Amino acid sequence: MERPHALVLPLPLQGHVIPLLELSNRLVERGFKVTFVNTELNHARITSAMSNSSCDMNQIHFVTVPDGIEEGDDPSDLVRKREGLRRVLPASLEELIKKSNMVEDHKFTCFIVDVFMASTLDVAKKAGLHTVIFYPGGLGTLLIGSSIPKLIADGIIDEQGEVKTKGKFQINLEMPSMETADLPWQCFPDVKTKHHMFKFSLNVGTTINTEELILCNSFFGLENGKSILPPNILLIGPLLANQELKKPKGYLWEENTSCITWLDKQLPNSVIYIAFGSYTMFDHCQFEELALGLELSDKRFLWVVRPGLSRDEDVGFLARFRSRVEGRGMIVRWAPQQQVLAHCSIACFMSHCGWNSTLEGLANGVPFLCWPYFADQFISQGYICDIWKTGLRMNLDGNKVVSRKEIKRKVEELMGDEEMKIRAMQLKARADKSVNKGGHSFENFNCFVSRMNTSVH
């Protein structure tokens, strides 16, 4: 019997590669063949980051496509990155599909594409593949996209996404109320990126109302309970890796596993974990203030200082800081975050509230100290602090800095709040229930697998 063969295409950013690779691992477990598309740059980074790990890369077939980046392009420029990919991808995908058709038993049967890469859907459709969109964010941001026409009609924003009426608004009663300044596209300071991101949100919103199947990394009851979702949206999350299986994780930086050994030596519920994902950057002043706040808090901590986290890195400052906090604080370049958050010594998660980090924290029952930076992170903060009530906001002072005193204050408040921990554990129980046998996400994933299987026969 022919096996389904999925061609999987993520946006080449860390927070997109990780969940799509996890989805791929699960499809392999269910008998699928998977070909995973990396850009050349990412593939080189992933293989290099994994060179010392015991993960088994062989169950998934990795292929590469050009990055579409031209000399002089700023690698952190999201718009250029997407435009470059849009230019090179159609031909590369056509070629990949053509080649796979020529090898017996290797024909692709479905195309699972990151919503940010959905412009390539036509290539796959033309080749007769079943197409599926993967949405790596939360349902809340998806619903914001589909509510844009209403926001325009209500006079909250104009046709370009610019704010017309400043203030708070609420899309539906199950969503946190939010500031117009926190709409996902509003945080981009340059107008070109802002309009690009607005158009993108609008397009995503439109997709909800088509027949296109959308897999969303969330679970029933987390962001919606009462509102009925369109039938083409399948919530299948949280997509977290089973740490016992040595499956590829797709890290762009080499994970430092010695922090797990360090955590093993700490008391239960005693360590603050601080990580801001793969993209967030701090200026020097905020970076130092954060370090000094951790020092002032007098608590144990594990801090991910990713290369590039601080724009103008002061190596001397970090070295002096490290020696002052030796024994009670550990600093790593990249942590095996899901494993860290599952560790019993972790008391709270100081996070930028990227969607993956949000899911990973909540699925492990960890309360949050929210420090959002851009895009959908303010919406996640709203859910955490106002709807689930499993975290606190870190507030800026008059100089637009989260001060060391604020850090100490919020760490103490959160770590002393038993009710918060109880709610976090209740949320974890709901996440577990959803992915366990008989749960919503479990059944939705089954339903997806059988749809893809049926399409082969």
Q: Where along the sequence are the contacts to ligand UDP (CB under 6 A)?
A: 14-15, 18, 275, 277-279, 304, 334-335, 337-338, 354-357, 360
Three-state DSSP class for residue 81: helix
- Smallest gap from residue 306 Cβ to ligand UDP (A): 6
Longest dimension (CA), the chain: 66
User: Would you say 348 and 273 are in contact if contact means Cβ atoms under 8 Å apart?
Assistant: yes
- Smallest gap from residue 338 Cβ to ligand UDP (A): 6
Three-state DSSP class for residue 341: helix
Q: Percentages helix, strand, coil for the chain, rounded to the nearest 5?
A: 45, 15, 40
C-alpha 24/C-alpha 31 separation (Å) is 11
Q: Please identify, using beta-carbon distances, which residue of 277 and 391 lies nearer to ligand UDP.
A: 277
Q: Please identify, using beta-carbon distances, which residue of 21 and 407 lies nearer to ligand UDP.
A: 21
User: Would you say 133 and 215 are in contact if contact means Cβ atoms under 8 Å apart?
Assistant: yes
Contacts of 119 by beta carbon, 8 Å cutoff, 6+ apart: 86, 89
Nearest in space to 415 (alpha carbons), one of 269, 222, 260: 269
Q: Please identify, using beta-carbon distances, which residue of 92 and 255 lies nearer to ligand UDP.
A: 255
Q: Please identify, using beta-carbon distances, which residue of 92 and 337 lies nearer to ligand UDP.
A: 337
Q: Please identify, using beta-carbon distances, which residue of 151 and 370 lies nearer to ligand UDP.
A: 370
- Smallest gap from residue 358 Cβ to ligand UDP (A): 7
Q: Please identify, using beta-carbon distances, which residue of 145 and 336 lies nearer to ligand UDP.
A: 336
- Smallest gap from residue 22 Cβ to ligand UDP (A): 9
- Smallest gap from residue 23 Cβ to ligand UDP (A): 13
Nearest in space to 88 (alpha carbons), one of 76, 100, 73, 103: 73
Let me know how long the chain is.
457
Q: Please identify, using beta-carbon distances, which residue of 4 and 140 lies nearer to ligand UDP.
A: 140
Q: Which residue has the tokens 């596209």?
A: 185
- Smallest gap from residue 60 Cβ to ligand UDP (A): 18
- Smallest gap from residue 105 Cβ to ligand UDP (A): 33
Query: Bridge partners of 62?
Result: 36
Contacts of 433 by beta carbon, 8 Å cutoff, 6+ apart: 439
| Token pair listed for 164 | 């017309």
Q: Please identify, using beta-carbon distances, which residue of 218 and 338 lies nearer to ligand UDP.
A: 338
- Smallest gap from residue 349 Cβ to ligand UDP (A): 10
Say how many CA atoms lie within 13 Å of 424 toward its Cβ.
30
- Smallest gap from residue 184 Cβ to ligand UDP (A): 13
Three-state DSSP class for residue 201: helix
Q: Please identify, using beta-carbon distances, which residue of 108 and 279 lies nearer to ligand UDP.
A: 279
CB atoms within 10 A of CB 254: 15
Residue 126 zone, left/alpha/beta (φ > 0; ψ -120 to 50; rest): alpha
Q: Supply the DSSP symbol for 310.
A: B
